[in-house]
Structure 1
Amino acid sequence: MTVRPIVRFPDRRLRAVAEPVSVFDEDLRRLASDLADTMHAAPGIGITAPHIGVSKRVVVIQVPPAVEARTYVNPVIVWASDEMIRHTEGSVSMPGVTDDIERHARVRVRYQDLNGAGQVEEADGLLAVCHQHEIDQLDGLFWIQKLSRLKRDRLIKRYEKLLRTA
């Protein structure tokens, strides 16, 4: 079990676009395992390689009642429903603060597994929200960018206050 240090907001690496994975080897499996261990320790229900400072398009998600974490390599949303939902979101890179974000209620995600095989997954509810949140992160879009400027500024002030009192 390897828990890696998490990159904290406002680190610029959280705004960088992650690189596609082209080599499916033991290093990739180790990265996925480390991501799962780090996510569990945080704790969180989703994490990307950029959250630990690795610029690779790798996501690990474990939404209850899932028994095991699932790894998504090079994930892309290929369809999203017109229906929208609001859900409370946060980040392992900005612990202690959350806010409601509007996202698509259902999505279809195309990705590769750890062996490089192509897969497609349909998701709704919280899992759909997680896919959108983590894929945004891979694209350099940190979740608070989805908030209005006023809400974002207030949330950042709350986060900075938490850091000062910690």
Structure 2
Amino acid sequence: MILEIRMFGDPVLREKCAPVDGIDDDLRKLAADMQETMYEAEGIGLAAPQVGVPIRLFVYDVRDPDIPPGVLVNPEIVEAEGTVKEEEGCLSIPGLAEIVERSESIVARGLDLDGEPVEIRAEGMLSRCIQHEKDHLDGMLFLDRVSPLKRKILLGKWRKRDRD
């Protein structure tokens, strides 16, 4: 089922999300619906708060044949190395993109939908995607990672888009 993606300004996007206490069929259904929604919106990641559910869960698919799509429950980034600046956008702020500095490579840990521990060593687009989606779980948006001047310019574009 395609879910409604919450847009910038919705308070759920600024919430620090609650840990997932248990993995059940409802959570698996939510993850499946989130994946379907992500594909429909042509995104590479989608966090639960983006569909109005403030829990620590996200889905991803960076569209690389060597990197399978996945789900992380209660993710943590336990290692980070290097920095890289690349353009990012967000399904909750469509039409806006900006250069964002992130760690070049990371190690993330969490659970899969069977409740089994997962460790992901990521670099490139997968590293960026995991960091971006984890930010959503902490109530952060990519706009929070750009300079105040860039943020002001981007927010001006967003407001103008809303008026038009």
**Shorter-chain TM-score range:** over 0.9
Equivalents in 1 of 2:16, 2:121: separation in Å?
A: 24
Match of 2:80 in 1: 80
Task: Check whether the contact 1:72–1:113 (CA below 8 A) recurs between aligned residues.
Answer: yes
Q: 2:69 aligned with 1:69, yes or no?
A: yes
Equivalents in 2 of 1:91, 1:6: separation in Å?
A: 11
Match of 1:148 in 2: 147
Identical pairs, percent: 38
Matched residues, number: 163
Match of 1:57 in 2: 56
Match of 2:112 in 1: 113
Root-mean-square deviation over aligned CA pairs: 1.1
Q: Residue 68 of structure 1: CA displacement?
A: 5.2
Secondary structure of the residue aligned to 2:46 is: strand
Equivalents in 1 of 2:138, 2:158: separation in Å?
A: 23
Equivalents in 1 of 2:83, 2:4: separation in Å?
A: 34
Match of 1:25 in 2: 24
Unaligned regions of 5+ residues in structure 2, if any?
none
Secondary structure of the residue aligned to 1:110 is: strand
Equivalents in 2 of 1:157, 1:43: separation in Å?
A: 25
Equivalents in 2 of 1:71, 1:84: separation in Å?
A: 24
